[in-house]
């Protein structure tokens, strides 16, 4: 049976842990709010850009040559680029392990083609580095405060490799922020680009040639898709960590309760034993 | 005849402006255009310069660079790579950037990108102009 002192020590230690998990939960809650604000703030640009690409695409729909644009051409997917967006830090429940498992599944289901991983986030990088899977690049320290200007160069390299036919398709794999309680890994193809359908047709005056316009729009579209994925993943990360830390805090509370009851019982036992000793001692004297 | 036209200015990070305006001046890559309500649909690339618009009796200015402009009769949408409203501009920094760019152009060292230096200079000038500081020559 553990001694009283041991139990007290144990309870104190669990209480310390609980304080830590509670603090982490609060921090995550604050960061989540900021991350959510950023996702929402980035939405108008994304929406307008999508509509713009749709409009310009529609205006050019008859242009045969357009469909030979390097970023629109579909070819057999022999070399696939997978961009894996994880978190830099753990303690976020199944956030990272779900992603890495999904990535493994992606590799398994595309085994007939060559898949190269580009890791954004330390957890994904470490996971595949440990398994000796070659990475085309790794970016650590981005998540959390990624600005558009940080993400754009990464997208540009993906675009370049695609345009020069070093890769035949580019997929993003990241956690989508569904709600506070649910984050879902999603796979999204960003290259080749699928031009969104524009429902309303409109005749525009073009200051530049529409082709020229589309050529500069398309890379931006890819950059924004990546930026959006990074923002979503950041929000999802904080939500996951918040949930995980909330659960940990509750568990610690339950453990403390159990240990306290146990400790009381131990103390009661020792008091009872001492009493019995006193009573039997007194009885023996009679 | 509509009195106003809806102006939306967005950067990848945020939506800056979304309000009805009476008129707007936009720097395209081919020069400034003025847009009034019921303008014909137009698509253009955004240049470097000062976007200014009139709401109520006020004229507001935003330094912008790079992006797109889409005009429809009832709305103007500006997608800017960078946009800074006049109130957020750091005049000191813009002045320093301008000086640096001018210096670079005056004494071009081999290996520097002239086009980049010119653009940096124009961006700094646009920021100063938007902040209400005339560029002294």
> Is the residue at A88 inside a domain?
yes
Percentage above 70 pLDDT, chain A: 95
Return the CA Rg of chain B: 16
| CA–CA distance, A100 with A237 (Å, rounded to integer) | 14
Question: What's A133's domain CATH number?
Answer: 3.40.1380.10
Interatomic CA distance for residues A260 and A246, integer angstroms: 21
B89-130: CATH architecture: Up-down Bundle (1.20)
φ, ψ of residue A28 to 5 degrees: the values are: -60, -40
Which residue in B103, B48, B41 sits closest to B77, CA to CA?
A: B41
List CB contacts (< 8 A) between A44 and chain B. 8, 10, 15, 18
Is A182 inside a domain boundary?
A: yes
Size of chain B in residues: 137
CA atoms within 13 A on the CB side of A244: 18
B77 contact partners, CB below 8 Å, separation of at least 6:
A48, A52, B8, B10, B69, B70, B71
Cβ–Cβ gap B13/A210 under 8 Å: no
| Domain count for chain A | 1
Q: Which helix (H) or strand (E) holds B27?
A: strand B23-28
Select from A55, A47, A146 the least CA-distant residue to B79: A47
Q: Is B122 on the interface with A (CB under 8 A)?
A: no
The pLDDT assigned to B137 comes to 42
DSSP structure string for B54-113: EETTEEEEEEEEEEEEEEETTEEEEEEEEEEEGGG--HHHHHHHHHHHHHHHHSPPTT--
**Chain A contact set for B15 (CB, 8 A):** 41, 44-45
Specify whether the CB–CB gap between B108 and B114 falls below 8 A: yes
Instruction: Going residue by residue through chain B, which has 137 residues, state the pLDDT in tens, using 9 for 90 and above.
Output: 678 899 999 988 888 888 999 989 999 888 888 888 888 888 888 888 889 888 888 888 888 888 889 888 889 999 998 888 888 888 788 888 888 888 888 877 777 777 778 888 888 888 888 877 655 44
ipTM: 0.78
Q: Is B30 in the A-facing interface, judged by CB distances under 8 Å? A: yes
- Say if A92 falls within a structural domain: yes
Give yes or no for residue A57 having a pLDDT over 70: yes
Q: What is the CATH number of domain B5-87?
A: 2.60.15.10
Task: State the residue range of the domain holding A41.
Answer: 25-243
Residue A268: pLDDT band with limits 50, 70, 90: very high
3-state secondary structure of A37: helix
Q: Which of B32, B43, B76, B80 to mutate to test the interface with A (most CBs of A within 10 A)?
A: B43
Q: How much is the average pLDDT of A75-86? A: 87
Contact A148, A226 (CB under 8 A): no
Residue B82 near residue B115, CB atoms below 8 Å: no
Answer yes or no: is A131 within a domain: yes
Q: Are A60 and A66 in contact (CB under 8 A)?
A: yes
Which residue does chain A place closest to B80, by CA atoms? A45
Tell me how many degrees the CA angle A93-A95-A99 measures, rounded to the nearest 5: 145
Rounded (10°) angle between helices B91-106 and B114-130: 150
Query: Which residue ranges make up each domain of chain B?
Result: 5-87, 89-130
């Amino acid at each position: 049976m553990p001694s009283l002192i041991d139990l007290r020590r144990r309870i104190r230690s669990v209480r310390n842990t609980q304080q830590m998990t509670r603090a982490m939960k609060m921090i995550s809650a604050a960061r989540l709010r900021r991350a959510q604000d950023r996702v929402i703030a980035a939405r108008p640009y994304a929406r307008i850009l999508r509509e713009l690409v749709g409009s310009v695409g529609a205006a050019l729909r008859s242009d045969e040559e357009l469909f030979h644009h390097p970023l629109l051409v579909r070819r057999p997917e022999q070399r696939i680029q997978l961009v894996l967006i994880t978190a830099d830090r753990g303690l976020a429940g199944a956030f990272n392990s779900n992603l890495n498992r999904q990535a493994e599944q992606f590799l398994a289901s595309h085994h007939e083609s060559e898949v190269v991983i580009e890791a954004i986030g330390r957890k994904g990088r470490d996971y595949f580095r440990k398994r000796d899977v070659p990475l085309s690049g790794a970016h650590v320290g981005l998540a959390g405060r990624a600005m558009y200007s940080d993400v754009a160069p990464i997208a540009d390299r993906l675009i370049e490799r695609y345009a020069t036919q070093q890769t035949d398709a580019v997929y993003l794999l990241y956690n989508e922020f569904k709600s506070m309680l649910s984050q879902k890994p999603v796979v999204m193809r960003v290259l080749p680009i699928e031009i969104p359908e524009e429902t309303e047709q409109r005749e525009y005056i073009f200051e530049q040639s529409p082709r020229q316009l589309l050529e500069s729009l398309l890379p931006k579209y890819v950059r924004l898709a990546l930026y959006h994925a990074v923002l979503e993943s950041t929000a999802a990360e904080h939500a996951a960590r918040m949930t995980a830390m909330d659960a940990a805090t509750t568990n610690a509370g339950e453990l403390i309760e159990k240990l306290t009851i146990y400790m009381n019982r131990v103390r009661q036992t020792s008091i009872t034993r001492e009493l019995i000793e006193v009573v039997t001692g007194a009885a023996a004297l009679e | 005849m509509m009195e106003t036209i809806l102006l939306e200015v967005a950067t990848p990070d945020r939506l800056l402006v979304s309000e009805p305006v009476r008129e707007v001046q936009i720097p395209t890559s081919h020069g400034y255009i003025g847009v009034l309500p019921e303008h014909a649909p137009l698509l253009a690339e955004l240049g470097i310069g000062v976007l200014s618009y009139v709401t109520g009796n006020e004229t507001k200015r935003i330094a912008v660079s790079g992006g797109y402009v889409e005009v429809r009769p009832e709305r103007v949408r500006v997608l800017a790579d960078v946009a800074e409203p006049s109130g957020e501009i750091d005049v000191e920094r813009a002045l320093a950037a301008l000086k640096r760019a001018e210096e670079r152009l005056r004494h071009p060292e081999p290996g520097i990108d002239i086009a980049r230096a010119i653009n940096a200079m124009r961006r700094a000038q646009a920021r100063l102009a938007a902040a209400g500081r005339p560029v002294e020559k």
